[in-house]
Structure 1
Amino acid sequence: MRSSLPHFLFRLTALLALSACASAPKPPSFAGKPVTVYAAGDIADCRYRAPQDSGAAATAMLVAAGLAADPGAIALTLGDHTYPVGLPAEFNDCYHPTWGQFRERTLPVPGNHEYYTAGAPGYYAYFGARAAQEQGGYYSVQLGKWHVIGLNSALDGAGAEAQLAWLRNDLARHPARCTLAMLHHPRYSSGGHASNPAMAPLWQELAAGGVELLLSAHDHNYERFAPQDAAGRRDDALGMRQFVVGTGGAMLTPVRLDRPNSEVKDNSVHGVLRLDLFDTGYTWEFLPVASEASPPFTDRGASTCH
């Protein structure tokens, strides 16, 4: 494990120092100027459409507008950046013309489609140092007052065990009031892939470490869960809230289940999740591609860090 942040994270720190106030109203109880992030996974699929006509192009416009308005804002990508198998050509020919325009302001995590090509060479070559390949594809950074953890949910066996040990150590070394984690496979989901028991060890470690937010994708829909504890029981006081944001551009898929503690779910429109990360809490808003539905689905709210 490296003891210092890679160079690109220092560049992000410089960007954050320039950050302007977010345009969303600031809840009176929240302190400090927020760091704004735009998040989604399951993004670029050009098998049936040219890049400029793809769902990824439409969601990239939402992110690009937000980044242009705020020099400190960044994008969080939640895996399955390209389809079908994560080849370098898919990143260069489909992802790059859309979400690639803000690659230098992106924190990524890999999904299963990247690993459909053994070792995920397209993903690691495209994102370079920010993908943390030499550390198994997982890492952590500081965004304002928030500690942010990127995890590789495609690992198994010894790799998964090493990641879990690293995560336990990272949480112990960074006892922040507000922590956000992101990975591709959700622990809980009402979508077609359903909940993923293999994510239980990561979920339990994150919940025990006091993590506030967990962002995921994999199912091609949007879903927001109430805060839950390490065992998946609702806990509004100390629980971790999970979002599924698999709406980055790939074909949307049905919501087949009704998981306990699921508060909102939708598969009608592509879009991205905007989070304004204040010193003591956060606001969220799902930003839809307005042309896809009338009226377009959205979801917004706020919560304090526990």
Structure 2
Amino acid sequence: MKESLKRPLPGRDNLKETEKQKMPSLFVCKKCRKFLQAARLCTLPALFVCASLTVHAQAGAAPAGNPHQTVTLVGAGDIATCKHIESAKATAKLIEGIPGTVFAAGDLAYEKGSSEEFKDCYDPAWGAFKDRTKPALGNHEYGDHRAAGYFQYWGAQAGPEDKGYYSYDLGNWHVIVLNTNCNIKAMGGCGQGSPQETWLREDLAKHPTSCILAYGHHPLFSSGLFKKHALHPELRPFWEDLYAAHADLFLAGHEHSYERFAPQDLDGKRDPAHGIREIVVGTGGKSHDPLGMPTPNSEVREWKTYGVLKLTLSPGEYHWEFIPVEGSQFQDSGDGVCHNAPSSTD
């Protein structure tokens, strides 16, 4: 046997740095190296096998929904009315310049969410990015019987018909869309053991290591002036499940204003270690609702500005930014850490 065939294949660790950069990718592929070491022969067919394995590994390294990537979620609730559609078009203009997934947090087409209102009011404004929008049901959608106009407009994007709740993944984040219209008989309520609460609990159990974000139309906490409209304690069972799963964010609309809360527990007590940060962003374009006295842990409030909330979701952390429509000055931004983020010792 020739001397050259007796030599073991050179290890990458024995090469100088400049030589490593020049070596083919077969030294990156462990399967290829083991194959060649076993054969003790670097023939042309073997190189083709290595190249094939290496390309396959690289192609699968960054699939859609890659948990290591940073993603964008942007949107608002309480959006379009034909009475003054220009406000909704102004917020739509903001989103058109922001790539990523769009959330629409309910009350999308006023006044009744009919097929005509979705076609004539919502679609001319936010319809430009319909294909990348993940909608949630508001109470005005049920102005049309069983929210028929909503489900007709969105199709499969809206989740199972007559339910309207579903979930999806964005990078390392698991996003849950809730139907917070607990008074709709077909929903079976929002109490513990209800169909939606059972689904939520089971869905969360499947994602124990994901960062968790949920959104729906109604908030649990709000400084809204009219408390019967602003506060929704019937959502507490959902929050119990989210809190137990170490959820990070809850987005809502319903109040036509912007309000950001500190992370807090179900009783409204500040809880930076385990609490959920709620952000109310009913600023999509419909109208403005005045706010009352600040609710405990309410950090920022504004009710005279239309705009959208942009979330940058990274593995283990998030950044929020409220972006106002052209001509408005109010802004809000900050950062948070995901509760389910691995520790530095993991």
Contact 1:274 1:285 in 2 (8 A): yes
The answer to whether the 8 A contact 1:147-1:176 is kept is no
CA distance in 1, matches of 2:301, 2:179: 24
Q: Does the residue aligned with 1:287 lie in a helix, a strand or coil?
A: strand
- Indicate conservation of the 8 Å contact 1:252/1:267, yes or no: yes
C-alpha offsets along residues 131-158 of structure 1, whole Å, 9 cap, x if unaligned?
1133611001111110000000013452
Cα distance between partner residues in 2 of 1:149 and 1:159: 18
The equivalent of 1:180 in structure 2 is 213
Aligned CA distance change for structure 1 residues 208 and 16 (closer, same or farther; 3 Å): closer
* Matching residue of 2:51: none
1:15 Cα deviation (Å)? Answer: 6.9
By percentage of residues, which structure has more helix?
A: 2
- Secondary structure at the counterpart of residue 120 of structure 1: helix
Written as runs of structure 1 = structure 2, the 5 A alignment for 1:13-162 is 32-47=68-83, 49=84, 51=85, 54-67=86-99, 73-134=100-161, 136-156=163-183, 158-160=188-190, 161-162=194-195
Residue 247 of structure 2: aligned partner: 211
CA distance in 1: counterparts of 2:116 and 2:295, whole angstroms: 37
Q: Tell me if the contact between 1:44 and 1:83 (Cα under 8 Å) persists in the aligned partners.
A: yes
Give ranges in structure 1 of 5+ residues lacking alignment. 1-12, 18-30, 68-72
What is the CA-CA distance between 1:16 and the residue it aligns to? 5.8
Q: How far does the alpha carbon of each residue in 1:141-194 deviate from its partner, in whole angstroms, 9 at most, with x for none?
A: 111110000000013452531100100111111113411000000000012332
Kindly report structure 1 stretches of 4+ aligned residues shifted beyond 2 Å. 13-17
Alignment check: 8 A CA contact 2:68 2:172 kept: no
Kindly, what percent of the aligned residue pairs are identical?
47
Partner of 1:134, secondary structure, is coil
- Whether the 8 Å contact between 1:183 and 1:217 is mirrored in structure 2 is yes
Q: Which of 284, 288, 295 is the matching residue for 1:259?
A: 295
| Higher-Rg member (1/2) | 2
2: distance between equivalents of 1:242 and 1:151?
14
Equivalent residues, number: 269
Gaps of 5+ in 2: 1-61, 340-346
CA distance in structure 2 between the partners assigned to 1:159 and 1:256 by the alignment: 29
What is the TM-score with the length of structure 2 in the denominator? 0.75
For residues 101-145 of structure 1, the C-alpha deviation after alignment (integer angstroms, 9 at most, x for no partner) is: 100000010000001222011111111001113361100111111
Q: Return the alpha-carbon distance in structure 2 between the equivalents of residues 245 and 134 of structure 1.
A: 25
Q: 1:301 aligns with which of 334, 340, 344?
A: 334
State the distance in 1 between where 2:145 and 2:294 align.
Answer: 34
* TM-score scaled by length of structure 1: 0.84
Tell me, in whole angstroms, the C-alpha distance in 2 between the residues paired with 1:176 and 1:164: 20
Q: CA RMSD in A?
A: 1.7
For 2:64 and 2:101, how far apart are their aligned partners in 1?
9
Cα 1:15–1:44 shift into 2, 3 Å: farther
Residue deviations 1:185-216 (CA, integer Å, cap 9, x gap): 00000123322111111122211221110000
The alpha-carbon deviation at position 228 of structure 1 amounts to 0.8
The residue aligned with 2:204 is: 171
C-alpha distance in structure 1 between counterparts of 2:108 and 2:266, whole Å: 29
Mapped contact 1:228–1:236 kept (Cα < 8 A): yes
The higher relative CO (CA closer than 8 Å, separation ≥ 6) is in: 1
Alpha-carbon distance in structure 2 between the residues aligned to 1:133 and 1:94: 24
Residues 146 and 176 of structure 1 are in contact (CA less than 8 Å); yes or no, is this contact kept in structure 2?
no
1:284 aligns with 2:336: no
Work out the CA distance in 1 between the residues paired with 2:268 and 2:198. Answer: 22
Paired with 2:291 and 2:91, the residues of 1 have a C-alpha distance of: 21
